[in-house]
């Protein structure tokens, strides 16, 4: 049973990964007749000197750290709330998942309209609350656009975090809390001494999922700003290199190098999580 599994994984996962690695050492394009030229590490040296890549890297890491932080904190809170018994709990749990269920391209477009300077509902509220002055284009301001994108991502993926954590909450035996209560632990102590340690492995897995997703974020940025006003992420830049320059110049190897860079950054984050949360996967 293991052999077919390995075979399938190697075909659908390792082969493209290996090919991308391989391509990143070459200079070529997808134009017919383009000759693949081995250039060693040149594409990677170029990456280090590409201001657009460096900027995109910064934007991506900022987006990832901030959005995943809020998603985790809010996700835990949300999970704890829906873990309680209250009327219509099943309905609330289902409704909670709605943002997660809408395709990102659709919900991003929806939010783009809500951020519209003239008839956007969010703009209207923010003006009323005094956060922005009337007529401010939220997605056209360098200081605001990235936060708006993060806001949408948090709105969309917090439910995913919550559902994962809720599953972990449900397997914590009630006796533990009872014992703690008898020993005189208050609610805050019970939360930090029992709940958090027991859901930590799940949070770790959820963090890896979310971080991985956030580091290759594309659709929400592409639909809302196309990478304008300091929101260009690595994946958005990479689309331009791989698709926009597929047949011109010799950029395909360079685009592959960007893909490898995204892969490496994701791996670094994954290792940090695994080490710091002492996760074991075997």
Partner 1 sequence: MKRLTLVLTLVLITAVAFSIKITMTSGGVGKELEVLKKQIQMFNQIYPDIKVEIIPMPDSSTQRHDLYVTYFAAKQPDPVVLMLDVIWPAEFAPFLEDLTKYKDYFALDRFLPGTVKSVTVNGKIVAIPWFTDAGLLYYRKDLLKKYGYDHPPRTWSELVEMAQKISKAEGIEGFVWQGAKYEGLVCDFMEYLWSFGGDVLDDNGKVVIDKGDAAVKALQFMKDLIYKYKISPEGVTTYMEEDARRLFQNGKAVFMRNWPYAWSLLNSPDSPVRGKVGVTVLPMGPGGRHAATLGGWVLGINKYASKEQKDAAIKLIRFLTSYHQELYKAVNAGQNPTRKYVYQDSSLEKAAPFMVKLFNVFINALPRPRVANYTDVSDIIQRYVHAVLTNQMDPQTAVKKMAKELRWTLGQ
**Residues engaged in binding partner 1 (CB under 8 A):** 30-33, 115-119, 135-137, 139-142, 225-229, 239-240, 243-249
Is the Cβ of residue 228 or residue 268 nearer to partner 1 in the bound state?
228
Give min distance, CB of 237 to partner 1, in A.
10
Considering only CA atoms, which of 212, 176, 222, 223 is closest in space to residue 197? Answer: 176
Yes or no: say if 37 and 28 are a contact pair by the CB < 8 Å rule: yes
Yes or no: say if 260 and 46 are a contact pair by the CB < 8 Å rule: no
Sign of the Cα torsion 73, 162, 63, 259 reads positive
Give min distance, CB of 80 to partner 1, in A.
38
The full DSSP string for 223-234 is: HHTTTTTTT--H
Is the Cβ of residue 141 or residue 190 nearer to partner 1 in the bound state?
141
Give min distance, CB of 117 to partner 1, in A.
3
Q: Which two tokens stand for residue 151?
A: 């806001």
The radius of gyration of the chain's CA atoms, rounded to the nearest angstrom, is 23
Is the Cβ of residue 77 or residue 136 nearer to partner 1 in the bound state?
136
Q: Cα(240)–Cα(50) distance, rounded to whole angstroms? A: 14
Is the Cβ of residue 15 or residue 192 nearer to partner 1 in the bound state?
15
Is the Cβ of residue 70 or residue 252 nearer to partner 1 in the bound state?
252
Return all residues near 192 (Cβ < 8 A) that are at least 6 apart.
none
Give min distance, CB of 31 to partner 1, in A.
6
Give min distance, CB of 266 to partner 1, in A.
23
Give min distance, CB of 13 to partner 1, in A.
20
Is the Cβ of residue 211 or residue 225 nearer to partner 1 in the bound state?
225
Is the Cβ of residue 113 or residue 192 nearer to partner 1 in the bound state?
113
Give min distance, CB of 28 to partner 1, in A.
12
Listed as own residue / partner, the contacts of 46-52 with beta carbons closer than 8 Å and 24 or more positions apart are 46/254, 46/257, 47/254, 47/257, 47/258, 47/261, 52/232, 52/237
Beta partners for residue 27, in sequence order: 37
Q: Cα(264)–Cα(261) distance, rounded to whole angstroms? A: 5
């Amino acid at each position: 049973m293991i052999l077919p599994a390995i075979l399938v994984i190697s075909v659908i996962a390792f082969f493209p990964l290996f090919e991308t690695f391989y391509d990143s050492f070459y200079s070529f394009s997808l134009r017919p007749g383009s000759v693949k030229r081995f250039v060693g590490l040149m594409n990677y040296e170029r990456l280090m000197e590409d201001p657009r890549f460096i900027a995109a890297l910064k934007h991506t890491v900022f987006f990832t750290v901030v959005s995943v932080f809020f998603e985790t904190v809010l996700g835990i809170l949300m999970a704890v709330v829906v873990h309680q018994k209250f009327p219509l709990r099943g309905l609330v749990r289902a409704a909670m998942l709605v943002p997660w269920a809408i395709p990102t391209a659709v919900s991003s477009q929806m939010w783009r309209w809500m951020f519209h300077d003239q008839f956007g509902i969010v703009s209207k509220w923010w003006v009323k609350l005094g956060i922005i002055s009337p007529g401010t284009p939220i997605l056209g301001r360098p200081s605001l656009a990235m936060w708006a994108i993060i806001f949408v991502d948090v709105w969309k993926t917090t439910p995913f975090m919550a559902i994962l954590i809720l599953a972990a909450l449900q397997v914590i035996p009630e006796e533990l809390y009872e014992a703690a209560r008898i020993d005189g632990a208050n609610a805050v102590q019970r939360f930090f001494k029992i709940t958090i340690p027991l859901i930590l492995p799940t949070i770790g897995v959820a963090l890896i999922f979310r971080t991985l997703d956030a580091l290759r974020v594309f659709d929400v940025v592409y639909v809302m700003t196309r990478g304008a006003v300091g929101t260009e992420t690595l994946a958005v830049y990479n689309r331009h290199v791989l698709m926009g320059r597929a047949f011109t110049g010799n950029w395909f190897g360079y685009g592959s190098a960007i893909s490898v860079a995204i892969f490496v950054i994701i791996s670094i984050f994954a290792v940090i999580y695994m080490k710091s949360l002492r996760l074991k996967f075997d």
